[in-house]
Amino acid sequence: MPELEDSTVKPKATFDPNILQDLLPLYYKRLFPHKQFYRWMSYGRSESSVFSNREFSFTLQDDIYIRYQSFETQQELEREICSKAPFKIDIGAVYNIRPKDHRGSTAIQPVQRELVFDIDMTDYDDIRTCCNEANVCQLCWKFMSIACRVLDEALREDFGFEHLLWVFSGRRGIHCWVSDKAARHLDTAARSAIAMYLNLLISGGEGTASRVIIHDEMHHSVRRAYRIVAPLFEEICLVDQNMFGKPEGVRKLLALVQDASVRAELEKRFKTVANDSKGVWKEFVAYFDELRMSGNSNRYRRFKFIVEEVTLAFTYPRLDINVTKGFNHLLKSPFCVHPKTGKVCIPFNPNIASKFDPTDVPTIIDLLKEVNAFDEKNTVEGEENRSKIKDYKKTSMFKGTVIFEEFLRKLEQTFKGKAAALSDMKMEF
């Protein structure tokens, strides 16, 4: 393996995208989990043509884009990945024919695809104050952690899905792949219905925060989401982001109140606590508590859930619902290397998403140095013994592969024996 300046593992430095083309062949040859990836995409061969009819898309250097690729075996896919060393691998739908045979065919139609969710940190730019655009830190990652918890519980409890793979996108967001058979076979209408069910936020327009509207009663899924986000609102919104510490943030808060006279009264109260997010929020809550106690039931009824609505408006997951609705939407594969950051799109545990640190995700340089460092440290064991250890087990990527393995283990339990049954069916005359 070529030297990467030196084989001593050092603190992470700024990644230079220009070196990616030289490192990707090594990464795909030694670190990419080809076998596990195939196990996922083939679903234990429990359904006919589920792997061979799957679309894969490669983005090569200089944004050369190759769509409608398909493969018959793990070896064929691995050989092509290692040969082309793509800057990005996207996963598409499973079609009714092999995607590579689509030219000249008018009959190509998607027949199944994981139910996918995409949450991008840039969709929080109107409320986060610590970062903007493509940047992300541990403070704004808390929005991603909340999104993961809210969606994970909703998908499991409201829809009964069990096999969810959560993946850091390599730069500024997260992806969720729901891989249950029932989820994979949902039609476009059902995907749209689920996306709309989970999408509480209503766009507030340019320069204003999105809003949430709760009618006469809180739906159980909204109540569950509120239970998750409410204890974290002060820490994230008032302390970390100091959302109402500047006039712009106060204006966004006031814009969520649909009554000019109430806004004017709140504005007066806020002047006594200017530049103090905690003080502004305390006055906001107190005002509506007083309104509730005033006996003016008609006026209060309009604002019965205003505190809950505002709390959710600033913390609820901001979904790209078009990704979820689209049956044949392409989404970046886990274990890709992000071409801008050099970071690996690594799976993470949704139960401890708050402990995940996006700033500490290994880059391709870190991983290759870790392999070199491990090999040099263990030269006394002899080359033959060292070669028995999988290279990814020598690196900080190992934890992500363990999470992927556990996801696969549980998924594969659901179709044990089905591959053999399918094989028997094909032999019947």
Question: What is the per-residue pLDDT across 293-341, written as a single tens digit (0 to 9) for each?
Answer: 887 777 778 899 999 999 999 999 999 999 999 888 899 999 999 999 9
pLDDT at 89 over 70: yes
Checking if the pLDDT of 206 tops 70, the result is no
pLDDT digits (tens, 9 = 90+) for 126-166: 999 999 888 999 999 999 999 999 999 999 999 999 999 99
Catalytic residues: 55, 118, 120
Higher model confidence: residue 8 or residue 154? 154
Sorting pLDDT into bands at 50, 70 and 90, what band is 52?
very high
48 strand-pairing partners: none
Of the candidate ranges 21-30, 65-74, 370-379, the one whose mean pLDDT is the lowest: 370-379
Domain architecture of the chain: domains with CATH:
19-196+320-379+389-422 (3.90.920.10), 201-314 (no CATH)
Write down the mean pLDDT value for the chain.
90
Higher pLDDT, 207 or 71: 71
Does position 2 have pLDDT exceeding 50, yes or no? no
Q: So what's the pLDDT on residue 129?
A: 94
User: If you average pLDDT over residues 222-246, what whole number do you get?
Assistant: 97
Average pLDDT score over residue span 351-360: 93
What is the residue whose two structure tokens read 């076998």?
35
pLDDT for position 299:
76
| pTM across the whole model | 0.91
